[in-house]
Amino acid sequence: MQTDFLNEARRQAEICNACRYCEGYCSVFPALHAERAFSDGNLTQLANLCHNCRGCYYACQYTAPHEFNLNLPQALANVRQQSWEEFAYPQSAAKAFQKNGALIALMATVGFAFFFWLAKQVATIGGEGFYAILSHNMMIAIFIPAFVFPLMSIGISLRRYWRSVDGGPVKLVHLKKAFIAAAGMKNLRGGHGDGCNFEDTDRFSQGRRYAHQAVMYGFLLCFAATSSATVLHYVFDMPAPYPFWSLPKLLGVIGGVLLSLGCVEMVRLKLKSDKTLAADKAFSGEVGFVGLLGFVAISGLLLYFLGSTTAMPVLLVLHLGAVLAFFVLTPFTKMVHGFYRLAAMARDAQRTK
């Protein structure tokens, strides 16, 4: 990890530790004030606890033009971004995506869509609905490795992170606290429950928390839709297509709408936010990730509503290309921040006991 980022975060953390004005703002400050000196591991843990709500920046009396020039949200964002790149497996892929995320997401989607289009030309076709374009067995053969690889990669990354922050044996109570905090987006509520200052200087808002919740729960509903369809197919011998009132369709449509709205709102907030309070070179990677996830949701909804039209084959290969790109790129996109945040909150639960 770059020493400059760590040294700057250490300098600012020491000043914050002496001041303690922001003690009740979020989980970062109790953890910060529990330390007297800050190792690289301490700073990595604090950085991944931080949700970049920026409330502490606008409350701070030591920001520029003060000589201390504090900008803790950016200092921690730089360390956080570097930690994701350092712990990623392989590292080179993570660094490339953070620099050119939007371009890589676009090229991967188009490239995989072209791959599916070629597969459609040579494959043996059989089945109803989407399976009349691409067979079920072909989809399974392609997506199982694409699903297993991100899990393996993220597992290696989290193991590296856990070692760096001196994490101990994880107990059920630690995971319970982490999941409860994540489910309610506790750290995006702000120190006084008014939300964060992400949108515009001293204006508090819950908008960013709601957008994150829409994305998280939308994604989980879409995953549940796919899982329920898998159970129906293999356990109950009920292959797709399914009617609207079936579990896969209901979960998928509701999840797709939430995911689409959440991604659109997150991009809107990202575009109007103060970029000097974020990581120096993370904008392309963040927008690329949110844009890709949003396209997966929107193309999935279009595929459902236009599935009986002549547009279906084109929509199908584009949607599958985006889904495959999403899975393959997940370990190197901001999607992985959810796993790091859970790990950081579990580590914090060990500290508080």
Mean pLDDT along residues 272-279: 84
Is 128 a residue whose pLDDT tops 60?
no
Please check whether residue 190 is in contact with residue 182, taking contact to mean a CB–CB distance below 8 angstroms: no
Same domain, 148 and 29: no
Distance CA 33, CA 206 (A): 26
Distance of CA 176 to the CA centre of its chain: 20
pLDDT per position as a tens digit, 36-51: 889 999 999 999 999 8
Is 285 a residue whose pLDDT tops 90?
no
Strands (E), the chain: 196-200, 203-205
At residue 348, the 3 state secondary structure works out as helix
Is 342 a residue whose pLDDT tops 60?
yes
Same domain, 196 and 48: no
The pLDDT, as a whole number, for residue 2 is 63
Of residues 342 and 194, more confidence is placed in: 342
What token pair was written down for 178? 């982490």
Among 90-99, 127-136, 177-186, name the one with the lowest average pLDDT.
127-136
Is 64 a residue whose pLDDT tops 70?
yes
Average pLDDT, the chain: 85
Q: Which domain holds residue 12?
A: 3-84
Same domain, 291 and 211: yes
Q: In the block, which residue shows the tokens 């290309």?
A: 321
Distance CA 277, CA 325 (A): 29
Same domain, 271 and 335: yes
Same domain, 30 and 159: no
The pLDDT, as a whole number, for residue 124 is 53
Among 34-43, 118-127, 142-151, 312-321, name the one with the lowest average pLDDT.
118-127
How far apart are the two ends of the chain, measured CA to CA in Å? 29
Same domain, 126 and 71: no
Same domain, 303 and 216: yes
pLDDT per position as a tens digit, 189-230: 766 667 777 766 667 788 888 899 999 999 999 999 988 888
Distance CA 210, CA 194 (A): 13
Mean pLDDT along residues 155-181: 91
Same domain, 316 and 300: yes
pLDDT confidence tier of residue 315, bands split at 50, 70 and 90: confident
Same domain, 52 and 95: no
Same domain, 93 and 80: no
Give me the DSSP letters along 74-86. Answer: HHHHHHHHHHHHH
Q: Identify the domain boundary among 29, 53, 84.
A: 84
What token pair was written down for 251? 């979960």
Same domain, 154 and 18: no
At residue 91, the 3 state secondary structure works out as helix
Quick check: bond before 90 cis, omega within 30? yes
Mean pLDDT along residues 337-342: 91
Q: Among 28, 26, 352, 345, which residue's Cα sits nearest to residue 177?
A: 345
Please check whether residue 259 is in contact with residue 297, taking contact to mean a CB–CB distance below 8 angstroms: yes
Same domain, 163 and 276: yes
Q: Identify the domain boundary among 38, 63, 84.
A: 84
Among 155-159, 167-171, 338-342, name the one with the lowest average pLDDT.
167-171
Q: In the block, which residue shows the tokens 């409330």?
A: 55
Instruction: Tell me the residue type at 312.
Output: M
Please check whether residue 307 is in contact with residue 277, taking contact to mean a CB–CB distance below 8 angstroms: no
Q: Identify the domain boundary among 54, 84, 114.
A: 84
Number of domains forming the structure of the chain: 2
Phi, psi of 170 (to 5 degrees): -85, 130
